[in-house]
Structures are given as C-alpha cells and as structure tokens.
C-alpha cells in the first residue's frame, strides 16, 4: 500500500478543455500514483488523447489545474515539463539517424558526448535494438521504429511517460509482443506510464489501473478486474464486452434480490455489497460468455434458468454466438465454446439458458 502522504505522480483537478463550443475534456479529476501503469480507455473522440496532451503540455487546459509531482504545470511549455511522450505516429525525426534521434533530448540538456554515447548504448540495450544506431527511421521495421520512439523518450528518464496509442499501427501479432515488452520495460525502469488506447483488451492486460472516458468525462476509474467485473454504467458494461442488459425493477424476497423485467422474467441478481435503492428501474449487465446454453431436453440446474428460442447462430472461430429470444421480448447474446453440446443447437430450436447470479452485475447509474 502506498503511504497516504505520497505526492501523486500526476494529478488533474477539474480540468476542462474546449474546442470551439464543445468540451473535449469535461471537469476531469484524477490522480495517478508514482510508478503506476495507468490507461485511459475510450472510443475515439472521448477526450483521452486531449487529456494526455494536456499532461504533456501540448494543449493548455481552459480551466482546472494539472500537477506533476506536486508542481502546478499549467503554464509550463512542454520542454519544461518532466514528462515525455511516445506519439501515435511515432514522430521519429526522418532527417536524423537512430542514434541522433535518441541523443536529441540529451544534446539539448548539454550532456557530454561520452555520457550521451553511454546512455544511447544503454537504452538500445534496454529496448533490444543494439546495432541499429546509424540507420535512418525509414530503414526500420514498424516494430523497430516503435522501440526507437520508446527509447528516445525513456533515455531522458522522465518522471512520467505518456503513450498515445503507440501500438495502433502494428499488426496483431507484433502488438501482442510489444504489449509484453512495454510492461517489461515499465517494470525495469519504474517510471509512471500513462497509456491511451481504444482497445479494451490491451488496457486490461497492461494496466495497474485504468480510466474509462466518454464524451470528455471520466466514467469509471479502477483496477482492470474491478472495472471488468463491476462496471458502473451501461456504457462501461458495453465497452467491456458485457453486451446483455436487462432493465427492470428490483425486488427483495426472503433476503434475496431479484430483477423483474417488463417481460416478466424474474432474474436472480448478486447480493449487493452496498445498500441498494429499490425503487425505480435498474439495469443488470451480463457477459455473453457467462451464459450457459442447453438444448431443451437437457436438465441443467433449475435456478436462474430460462426458456428461449434461438434466432440466430454464427461461428466466431473460438466460440459460437447465439442470439436467443427470452419471453418473446428480451434478446440475449450467448457465446458458447465450440466443443460444448451447444454445437448441436440449430436456429429456431427451443433452448434453456442459465447463468450464475454472481456473474451478472447491477449497474449504478443510467
């Protein structure tokens, strides 16, 4: 556990940025701990990149304050901030060699040539790129360019490293590799990493904590597992892949909670950790892979089990996707493993679906 007095690495207080009339970033408050791998996750245009650029000093906030290591940096230009950015388009200087690119910031700090040479060699070692000093950026592969961009920022040993979707240009396999690399490097150097991405899997697999943004606002901040398992809003639930939503009223019977939908389904919901307000409509989110699907003649546990009809079935490779209609109204998406007995289920067939009440999640807002 962090000591309570520790100064946060980056702290945003009520930060707002408008472009024209619309707020790109709307009253965002957040603090990021030292040495943390923190991700901003959200669809394009949600304000995550703008937030990052404000931390880096490439945009100035219209209101609110930004602190880096406890120092207010609103009025500091980027070159006076102890942060460094890895850009989405990498921005390697095309007129300089790899070594010159890496030495760029060091030369500006007026380090001696010997120190520069040593540091460049060291950092190339760290990113596993020795021997490429004299190449020009356009003579490198995409993955190598990526590493050089990372190294160029890291060699300055900034307090915070900002990464703006740096892996988006890479193909899937290379991206996976680089994700692991990034984590390794972050552990080795111990610098705070702030990472922006629109890929939820990437954010979940890499981050210590993450923030979900929508329309310039923070929607939810927390550890990946916490967000994944307990999304607060329908947006987060949907974004994290909990594609099934039930809306209805909450009722309590003999210490257990149920959601009664308009179509008349009575769904067993997990026991809430905090007291729930029982009036008004409530939303329940459920991941498609948490649902089990059985042919009608099977006999699964009867608890939380419903009869439905298969409307559609498609093969996704690693799973089968079913669209099931419950009670004639509720559409439910179900992912079943390719090897289960679900493979025998055909369109229009009557099926049973059930799930563990604990795998569903009651949403707090919206």
Partner 1 sequence: MNTTVPTATARRRSIEQGLSTLLRGLGRVSPPGLLGLIYLFIYAPLLILMLFSFNAQGNLAWWEGFSLRWYEELLSYEPLWKSLKISLIVTGVSVLISTVIGTLTAYALYRWRFWGKHLFESVLYLPMYIPEVVLGISLLVFFIFWKIPRGILTMILAHVAFTIPLVVLVVLARMQRIDWTLEEAAMDLGADELTTLRRVTLPLLFPGIMAAAFLAFPWSFNDFVITYFVTSPGNAPLPVLTYNLILGRKSGGMGMINALGTLMTVATLLMPLLAVLLLRARRFSLPGRRRSQS
- The residues that touch partner 1, with contacts defined as CB under 8 A, are 56-58, 77-79, 83-85, 87-89, 91, 93-95, 104-105, 108-109, 136-138, 152-153, 156, 168-169
Provide the minimum distance between the beta carbon of 105 and partner 1 in the complex, in angstroms, as a whole number: 4
Two tokens, residue 303? 């608890």
Provide the minimum distance between the beta carbon of 162 and partner 1 in the complex, in angstroms, as a whole number: 8
Euclidean distance between CA atoms 315 and 333, whole angstroms: 13
Q: Is 121 exposed, middle or buried (0-12, 13-18, 19+ CB in 10 A)?
A: middle
Q: What are phi and psi of 235, to 5 degrees?
A: -60, -50
Identify which of residues 82 and 321 has a Cβ nearer to partner 1 in the complex.
Answer: 82
Strand order in the sheet with 209-214: 83-86, 160-164, 192-197, 37-41, 209-214, 217-222
Identify which of residues 84 and 220 has a Cβ nearer to partner 1 in the complex.
Answer: 84
Provide the minimum distance between the beta carbon of 139 and partner 1 in the complex, in angstroms, as a whole number: 8
Number of helical H runs and strand E runs in the chain: 8, 20
Identify which of residues 152 and 313 has a Cβ nearer to partner 1 in the complex.
Answer: 152
Identify which of residues 129 and 162 has a Cβ nearer to partner 1 in the complex.
Answer: 162
Euclidean distance between CA atoms 108 and 333, whole angstroms: 56
Provide the minimum distance between the beta carbon of 169 and partner 1 in the complex, in angstroms, as a whole number: 6
285: left (phi over 0), alpha (psi -120 to 50) or beta: beta
Tally the residues of the chain.
366
Euclidean distance between CA atoms 307 and 15, whole angstroms: 49
Residue located via tokens 């760290």: 126
Identify which of residues 55 and 324 has a Cβ nearer to partner 1 in the complex.
Answer: 55
Identify which of residues 102 and 351 has a Cβ nearer to partner 1 in the complex.
Answer: 102
Identify which of residues 61 and 137 has a Cβ nearer to partner 1 in the complex.
Answer: 137
Identify which of residues 156 and 210 has a Cβ nearer to partner 1 in the complex.
Answer: 156
Provide the minimum distance between the beta carbon of 218 and partner 1 in the complex, in angstroms, as a whole number: 24
Two tokens, residue 245? 């939503």
Assess contact for 271 and 257: CB atoms under 8 A. yes
Euclidean distance between CA atoms 272 and 259, whole angstroms: 12
Provide the minimum distance between the beta carbon of 37 and partner 1 in the complex, in angstroms, as a whole number: 20
Residue located via tokens 């055909």: 346
Side-chain half-sphere exposure of 235, counting CA atoms within 13 A: 15
Assess contact for 354 and 291: CB atoms under 8 A. yes
Provide the minimum distance between the beta carbon of 107 and partner 1 in the complex, in angstroms, as a whole number: 9
Provide the minimum distance between the beta carbon of 135 and partner 1 in the complex, in angstroms, as a whole number: 11
């Amino acid at each position: 556990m962090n000591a309570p007095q520790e100064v946060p690495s980056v702290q945003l207080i009520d930060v707002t940025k408008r472009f024209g009339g619309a707020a790109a970033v709307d009253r965002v408050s957040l603090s990021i701990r030292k040495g943390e791998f923190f991700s901003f996750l959200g669809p394009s245009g949600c304000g995550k990149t703008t937030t990052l650029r404000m931390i880096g000093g490439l945009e100035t906030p219209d209101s609110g304050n930004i602190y880096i290591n406890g120092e207010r940096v609103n009025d500091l230009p980027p070159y006076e901030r102890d942060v460094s950015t890895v850009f989405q388009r990498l921005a390697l200087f095309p007129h300089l060699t790899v070594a010159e690119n890496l030495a760029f910031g060091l030369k500006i700090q007026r380090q001696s040539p010997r120190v520069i040479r040593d540091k460049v060699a060291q950092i190339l070692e760290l990113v596993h790129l020795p021997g490429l000093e004299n190449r020009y950026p356009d003579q490198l592969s995409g993955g190598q360019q990526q590493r050089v961009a990372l190294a160029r920022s890291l060699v300055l040993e900034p307090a915070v490293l900002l990464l703006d979707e740096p892996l988006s240009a890479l193909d899937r396999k290379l991206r996976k590799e680089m994700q692991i690399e990034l984590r390794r490097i972050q552990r080795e150097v111990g610098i705070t990493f702030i990472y922006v991405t629109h890929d939820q899997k990437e954010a979940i697999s890499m981050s210590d904590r993450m923030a979900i943004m929508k329309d310039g606002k923070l929607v939810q901040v927390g550890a990946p597992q916490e967000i994944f398992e307990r999304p607060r809003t329908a947006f987060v639930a949907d974004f994290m892949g909990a594609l099934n939503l039930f809306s209805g009223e909450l009722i309590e019977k003999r210490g257990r909670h149920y959601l009664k939908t308009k179509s008349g389904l009575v769904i067993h919901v997990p026991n809430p950790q905090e007291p729930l307000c029982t009036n008004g409509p409530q939303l329940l989110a459920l991941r498609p892979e948490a649902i089990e699907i059985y042919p009608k003649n099977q006999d699964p546990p009867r608890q939380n089990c419903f009869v439905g009809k298969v409307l559609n079935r498609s093969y996704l490779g690693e799973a089968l996707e079913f669209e099931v209609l419950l009670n004639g109204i509720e559409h439910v998406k179900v992912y079943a493993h390719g090897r289960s007995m679900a493979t025998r289920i055909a369109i229009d067939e009557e099926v049973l679906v059930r799930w563990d009440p604990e795998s569903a999640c009651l949403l707090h807002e919206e």
